[in-house]
Amino acid sequence: MDKQDKTDKKDKTVFETFIGLEIHIQLITQTKIFCGCRNSFGDPPNTNVCPVCMGYPGVLPVLNEEAVRKSYLMCLALNCTLSEKAVFDRKNYFYPDLPKNYQISQFEHPFGINGYVETTLPDGQAKRIRIHEAHLEEDAGKMIHEGAVSLCDFNRTGTPLLEIVTEPDFKSGEEVESFLQDFRRMIRYLGVSDGNMEEGSMRCDANISINYPGKGLGRKVEIKNLNSSRHVKLAIQHEEIRQAKMIRSGETIIQETRLWNEEKKRTESMRSKEDANDYRYFPEPDLPPFIPTASFIDEIRENLVELPHLRRKRFITEYNLPSETAEFLTDEKGRADFYESVCKEGTDPQTAASWVKGDVAKVLNREKMDITSSPLTAERLVSLLKILDEGKINGQTAKKVLDMIITENRDPVSIITEHSLEQLDNSDELSSIIDSVLAQSSAALEQIKSGDMKPVGFLIGQVMKLSGGKADPKKTKEMIMEKISAL
C-alpha cells in the first residue's frame, strides 16, 4: 500500500476529463406552464400566483401550448429525435418553494432525445456535442434568506423550464464556457429564452469526472448553481484539480452534489447525490400524454431560423468579412438582420459592416440601446450612407447626423436640411472662407512657400472650423494649394 501511494504521488499522468451539462432555460411565454399566472421576472413577491402553482389540493394542471411549441422548436434546433408520445411524470421531493411536494417533469418519454449541436471551440475548431435529451418541467420558486428568517417567493413556481442534458463530451472548462456562449446565442436567435444567466433564466449544472487516460468515465460529481459561464469554467477547473489530488493520494471520489463558492473560489459539498429511483417517478395522472401531429411539427419547423454559427460562416463567405467582424454582426439576431437589410438596399457590405460595428455600435452603447428598439432603421442608415456617398455631406457630418438620428428619432434628410449640413462645394462661400483664413496666416504661408508643407493641414483645419465642419476636406486642400501657387 505504502509503495502504491508513493508511485501515485510521483505519477505525472494528466487525467482525462469528462464534463456533461444540464442546462435549464426558462421559456418565454405569457403565462406559466400549467396555469394562467403571468410568467414575468422581477415583479413584487407572490403577485403572480394562484391555487394551481401554489399546489393547493385538488387543482388540475392545464398544459401551456406555447411552452410545448418552444420546447419542440428547441428539440428541432438540437437535431433531436422527437418522441411520438411525450409523457409528463411526477418527480417526488420536498422543497419549500415547490409546495405541491412534487415537480411535474418528464422522465421516460421527454420531448426529444439523441440530438447534437455544433459548437466552435476557443481554438476555432468545430466540435459536435451530443444531446442526451430535452425535457420540459415546471420551475420551483425562490427562497430568500434574510438573517434568521427564510422567505418564499412563489412567482417563479410553475415557470416553464426546458432542461437540456448533454452527453459528457466536454474536455475542459474553457470548452464549456465557449459552448455556453454559443448556446445562449442560439436560444436567443430562436426566441425560446432570453438566456439571461444573472436573472436565472439560463442555469447550468455540470457533471464532471476525471480518470486515467483511456479508462473511460470516472465517478461523477455534480456542481450546481452556476450563474455565469465564467463561474462554470472556474468551478470545473477547480474540480479537476481537487479530484486529481484525491486520486493521486489514493482517496475515493464520492458521488455528490457540490456548490461553487464564488468568494472562496472553490466547490463545497452540498449533499450526496440522489439516484433517479429516489424520486419515485410515475406518470402524471392529471395530464394526458402529448402526441404531436406531423402538421403541428411542420408548423413549428417553419420558425427554425438560421442558427448563429451557420450565419457567421455565411457572412464570412458571402460578404467577404473577417471572422471577427462576422462574429460581432451575428452575435445578436437583430443586429445580423439589420446588417443584411442594409446590404440588401445596395450598400457595399464592407461599408455597412464598418458602420454597424463602429459608429452605430458606439452610439447605441452610449445610449444603452438595442439596435432593434433604437430609432435607427436600416432605411435611415441606407439613406444616410447614400447622402455621404454622393458627397453631399462629409464623413464627420455623417457621424454627427447618425448620432442625431438615434438620439432625436429623426430622418437623416430632415436633420441635414434643418441644420443646413450639406457640404460646401466649389462655391464662392468656400472660396471666401479660404481667403479669410489665408489672410490671417501669413507665417504659415511663408513656411509653405519655402517648401515646408506641414502647415497645410493646419490651414485645412482652420477652414473646417470656420465652415462649421461643412467643407469638403479634399476640395478645400485643392483650393488652398491653387490659391497659394497663384499668390
The yes or no reply on residue 378 touching Zn ion (CB under 5 A) is no
What is the Cα–Cα distance from 361 to 399, expressed in whole angstroms?
12
- For 223-253, b/e burial (b = at least 16 CB within 10 A) is bbbbbebebbbbbbbbbbebbbeebbeeeeb
Cell 429564452, located at residue? 193
Ordered DSSP codes for 136-172: EEEPP-EEEEETTEEEEE-TTTT-EEEEEEE-S-B-S
C-beta of 53: minimal distance to Zn ion in Å?
A: 3
Pick the piece of the chain touching Zn ion (CB under 5 A) from 14-22, 31-39, 159-167, 322-330: 31-39
What is the Cα–Cα distance from 53 to 100, expressed in whole angstroms?
8
53 vs 438, beta carbon nearer Zn ion? 53
The CA dihedral of 154, 157, 159, 162, to the nearest 10 degrees, is 140
52 vs 190, beta carbon nearer Zn ion? 52
Q: For 371, which DSSP code?
A: G
Pick the piece of the chain touching Zn ion (CB under 5 A) from 33-41, 107-115, 226-234, 452-460: 33-41
C-beta of 38: minimal distance to Zn ion in Å?
A: 9
Enumerate the H helices of 195-322 as residue ranges: 229-248, 294-301, 308-318
Number of residues that bind Zn ion (CB under 5 A): 5
C-beta of 97: minimal distance to Zn ion in Å?
A: 14
Pick the piece of the chain touching Zn ion (CB under 5 A) from 29-37, 116-124, 162-170, 362-370: 29-37
Pick the piece of the chain touching Zn ion (CB under 5 A) from 36-44, 210-218, 337-345, 441-449: 36-44
101 vs 261, beta carbon nearer Zn ion? 101
What is the Cα–Cα distance from 339 to 437, expressed in whole angstroms?
42
C-beta of 136: minimal distance to Zn ion in Å?
A: 17
Pick the piece of the chain touching Zn ion (CB under 5 A) from 17-25, 32-40, 91-99, 106-114: 32-40
What distance lies between CA 3 and its chain's CA centroid? 52
> Which residues, in sequence order, are CB contacts of 474 under 8 Å at separation 6+?
none
User: Contact at 8 Å (CB) between 190 and 184?
Assistant: no
37 vs 226, beta carbon nearer Zn ion? 37
Pick the piece of the chain touching Zn ion (CB under 5 A) from 30-38, 63-71, 321-329, 353-361: 30-38
C-beta of 99: minimal distance to Zn ion in Å?
A: 11
Strand partners, 281: none
- Whether the CA torsion 45, 96, 133, 106 is positive or negative: it is negative
The yes or no reply on residue 98 touching Zn ion (CB under 5 A) is no
C-beta of 154: minimal distance to Zn ion in Å?
A: 8
What is the Cα–Cα distance from 186 to 330, expressed in whole angstroms?
11
Which amino acid, one-letter code, is at 208? I
Strands 256-261 and 160-166: unpaired
What is the Cα–Cα distance from 359 to 354, expressed in whole angstroms?
8
Strand partners, 112: 82, 134
The yes or no reply on residue 33 touching Zn ion (CB under 5 A) is no
95 vs 281, beta carbon nearer Zn ion? 95
C-beta of 40: minimal distance to Zn ion in Å?
A: 12
The yes or no reply on residue 37 touching Zn ion (CB under 5 A) is yes
The yes or no reply on residue 87 touching Zn ion (CB under 5 A) is no
Q: For 373, which DSSP code?
A: G
How many CB atoms sit inside 10 A of residue 343's CB?
Answer: 21
C-beta of 156: minimal distance to Zn ion in Å?
A: 11
37 vs 234, beta carbon nearer Zn ion? 37
H or E element: which one contains 5?
helix 2-10
39 vs 383, beta carbon nearer Zn ion? 39
C-beta of 385: minimal distance to Zn ion in Å?
A: 50
52 vs 129, beta carbon nearer Zn ion? 52
Per-residue x/- track, 40-69, Zn ion (CB under 5 A): ----------x-xx----------------
156 vs 203, beta carbon nearer Zn ion? 156
C-beta of 198: minimal distance to Zn ion in Å?
A: 25
H or E element: which one contains 350?
helix 349-355
Is 256 in a helix, a strand, or coil?
Answer: strand
53 vs 404, beta carbon nearer Zn ion? 53
User: Contact at 8 Å (CB) between 387 and 413?
Assistant: yes
50 vs 121, beta carbon nearer Zn ion? 50
46 vs 196, beta carbon nearer Zn ion? 46
Binding residues for Zn ion restricted to 388-447, rule: CB under 5 A: none
Site of interaction with Zn ion (CB under 5 A): 35, 37, 50, 52-53
